[in-house]
Chain A
Amino acid sequence: MGLGLETILVFALFALLYAGLIRGRARRWALLGASALAVFWLQPWLPLRYADFILPSLTLVLTIAGWWVTRKRGEEVQPVRREDWAALGVVMAAALLMGMNRFLAPDLRLTPSRPPGPPLWLTIIAIAALILTLIAWQLRRGRQKALLLGGVFLILALFVVLKTPALTEALARWWRGLTGQDQTLASAGDLRWLGFSYVSFRLIHTLRDRQSGLLPELGLAEYVTYVVFFPAFIAGPIDRAERFQKDWLALPDMQGVSAARLGEGAMRILTGMFKKFVIADTLAMGMALTPALAQQTHHALALWGLLYGYAFRLYFDFAGYTDIAIGVGLMLGVRLPENFKRPYLSQDITSFWQRWHITLSNWVRFYLFSPLTRALLRRKPRPSPTLILFLGLMATMIAIGLWHGITWTFFVWGAWHGLGLFIHKQWSDRTRKWYRELAKHPWRKRAWSVMAWFLTFQFVALGWVWFLLPDLSLAIRTFLRLFGF
């Protein structure tokens, strides 16, 4: 289904009905039910038989398992509350409801293709029950730490498989073998598991924060809604559980139809739609670089124009999605975090990463950069602070690159930014005094600001060459052609 106009309209209508008709604690159940249903509804059609039903089911199974593993376990384990059983019932009923689409005529279905029959449903339920039973058994033996760590590794392993084209293709081939489909047609695109990237970030966040004791106690309804909250399911932002919990707890007291809240939400949705469907989609019509245009365009100036077009297209597309998600969230009573703060106006690359995909940057800083640099600091003999910074920045940015796909071009894109951040840090450390002096000369400072902005934007735009082009040799050729070679 994806996030097209039809989807946005459904989201907005649901938000209006929710605000107008649903009261008190029922709001939480409505959000849970809608989010669980949306996991199936939003999943696009996949060529692998039943994959577009099984993958959303797995999302819910992983989420429930995540909750089970991250429950607070002190000296006395709290029994599962009745609300948690009810939440499990709602999630299972949502999956069943979508599975029942099998018995509907194709035009009436909410699922992208015909869901599997009851034997496969029962198999999925049996596997889920087995996983939860194994987790419960291990928890009773006091192995929560091992389970938390195992959970992180499991998600990372799934991530590697799904983001490595060769592995995804092999998995698709295996799947086709099971369902009797033509194995020679297997491709990496066969397994587009919608939302998994963002779901995995949220799951790892809860698993790691339970390890460190930072995670608040969450009910199953709260946990599942946090992980698969439908406005942010496709493209983020990546909220934090403790922040989400504040809004969740306030939902029953929320004023039903509040003109201010609905107005603000509607405005954000309209702004997002303008960014996405007017600006980004217009730029996409030949004004933004594509792999095909990169091969066909030989004039450096034209190539620069297309590259700038791509830079703006990417920003308006992604920022538009985020605005829509935040707008729908506001109408539902959940204020999702901001993800973009005019990133292309940044005057240095560090500031760019504080203003571009902010929730992702924060996530990797918290769960990768900080633990890694701390670990390096503890090493004996301790590496130099410059080396620690270099390794920390490179590893973090390369990880962000590989999150988009495990390919050489994303690797280079990550390394490009890692190196940029490192050089900027060295530069700013050595020019602090000069900067302070510059403040005394407003015109000189202004000229330097314009220069700094220009350089930063060029650096980011050049980085998009590695990000956009799927093939490293094409990326290098395009890069050189931009400079007239």
Chain B
Amino acid sequence: MKIWKPLLFLIIPTLALMLVACAGGASGDPAQTVERYLQAKVEGHEQTVRSLLCSEMEANTFQEVNAFTSVSGAHIEGMKCQWIEGSDVVTCEGKIVATYGAEETEFPLAAYRVVKEDGEWKWCGETAPPQ
């Protein structure tokens, strides 16, 4: 075997990855970030919540991860988020539905603040919707 051949195992995927990277947005879309965050929060997916939470909100991680752990059937209905371009606000339509005992409670989705940390969008809590 020629000495350079082993490197092909990694050179080819690296080149492929570069092409994918050039084609796609590395920082992600702010609206998608919020959607992923809300989904992970409802499902109690700790790692995703932690990775999408901004540094400023890190102290609230426990509450965010466990917000829906004691309720049954928490899910999101009709989620549609939109980033107001040039701002730090993502507005969402839809609602979180959770069952507390026998009572079904709905939490309408609101407007959320997003910040860019190290070139990547992060969820940073609720905010007032733009006027």
Binding site for B on A (CB under 8 A): 24-26, 29-30, 32-33, 44-45, 47, 49, 82-83, 85-87, 89-90, 93-94, 96-97, 100-106, 108, 112-114, 117, 180-182, 184-185
Contact B10 A106, beta carbon cutoff 8 Å: no
Question: A residues within 8 A CB of B50?
Answer: 45, 47
Partner of A104, one of B7, B9, B20: B20
**Bound: A93/B6 CA distance, A:** 11
- Chain B residue numbers with a CB within 8 Å of A26 are 1, 5-6
Q: Are A97 and B17 in contact (CB under 8 A)?
A: yes
A85 cross-chain contacts in B, Cβ below 8 A: 3
Report how far A184 CA is from B56 CA in the complex, Å.
12
B63 at the interface (CB under 8 A from A): no
Q: How many residues of B contact A (CB 8 A)?
A: 31
The answer to whether A83 touches B20, judged by C-beta atoms less than 8 angstroms apart, is no
8 Å CB contact of A93 from B14, B28, B120: B14
Q: Which of B1-33 contact A (CB under 8 A)?
A: 1, 3-7, 9-11, 13-14, 17-18, 20-22, 24-26, 28, 33
Q: A184 to B10: give the CA distance in the assembly, Å.
A: 41
* From B3, B13, B26, B33, contact of A86 by CB (8 A): B3
Complex interface: chain A residues within 8 A of B5 (CB)? 26, 29
Q: Which chain B positions have C-beta within 8 A of A114? A: 26, 118-120
Task: Looking at the assembled complex, report how far the CB atom of B5 sits from the nearest CB atom of chain A, in whole angstroms.
Answer: 8
Q: Is B126 an interface residue (CB 8 A)?
A: no
Residues of B within 8 A of A (CB): 1, 3-7, 9-11, 13-14, 17-18, 20-22, 24-26, 28, 33, 36, 47, 50-51, 55, 58-59, 118-120
Of B14, B22, B26, B58, which one neighbours A182 at CB under 8 angstroms? Answer: B58
Given the contacts A45-B50, A86-B6, A113-B51, A103 and B21 also touching, CB distance less than 8 Å: yes
Closest Cβ of chain B to A90, distance in Å, is: 5
Set A24, A82, A184: member contacting B3, Cβ < 8 A: A82
Contact B10 A103 (CB under 8 A): no
List A contacts of B22 (CB < 8 A): 103
B28:A106 contact, CB within 8 angstroms: yes
Which chain A positions have C-beta within 8 A of B7?
86, 89-90, 93
Ordered by A's residue number, 18 sampled pairs between the chains whose C-beta atoms are within 8 Å are A24-B1, A45-B47, A89-B7, A93-B10, A93-B11, A93-B14, A96-B10, A97-B17, A100-B14, A102-B26, A103-B18, A103-B22, A103-B26, A106-B33, A180-B55, A182-B55, A182-B58, A184-B59
Interface residues of chain B: helix, strand, loop or mixed (majority)? helix
| Other-chain residue from A32, A105, A117 in contact with B24 (beta carbon distance below 8 A) | A105
- Please tell me if the beta carbons of A33 and B58 are within 8 angstroms of each other in the complex: no
Q: Evaluate contact between B58 and A47: CB separation under 8 angstroms.
A: yes
CB distance from A304 to the nearest CB of B (A): 31
Could you say which residues of chain B place their CB within 8 Å of the CB of A181?
A: 55, 58
Residue of B9, B11, B26, B36 most packed against chain A (CB within 10 A): B9
Q: How far is the CA of A12 from the CA of B13 in the complex (A)?
A: 20
Residues of chain A within 8 A (CB-CB) of B14 are: 93, 96-97, 100
The distance in angstroms between the C-alpha atoms of A94 and B3, with both chains bound, is 17
Q: Closest 9 interchain pairs by CB?
A: A103-B21, A29-B6, A93-B10, A103-B26, A33-B9, A105-B24, A97-B14, A86-B3, A82-B3
Closest to A52 in B: B51
Q: Are A30 and B9 in contact (CB under 8 A)?
A: yes
Given that A47-B50, A97-B17, A104-B26 are known contacts, is A83 also in contact with B3, CB under 8 Å in the complex? yes
Q: Shortest beta-carbon distance, B60 to chain A, in Å?
A: 10
* A30 (CB) vs chain B CBs: closest residue: B9
Whether the Cβ atoms of B21 and A97 lie closer than 8 Å is no
**A96 proximity list for chain B (CB < 8 A):** 10, 14
Q: Give Cα A29 to B5, complex, Å.
A: 9
Shortest CB-to-CB span from A411 to chain B, Å, is: 30
CB distance from A253 to the nearest CB of B (A): 15
A105 touching B59, Cβ below 8 Å? no
A185/B21 contact (C-beta < 8 A), A105-B26, A114-B120 known: no
**How far does the Cβ of A178 sit from chain B's closest Cβ, in whole Å?**
13
B81 to chain A, nearest CB (A): 15
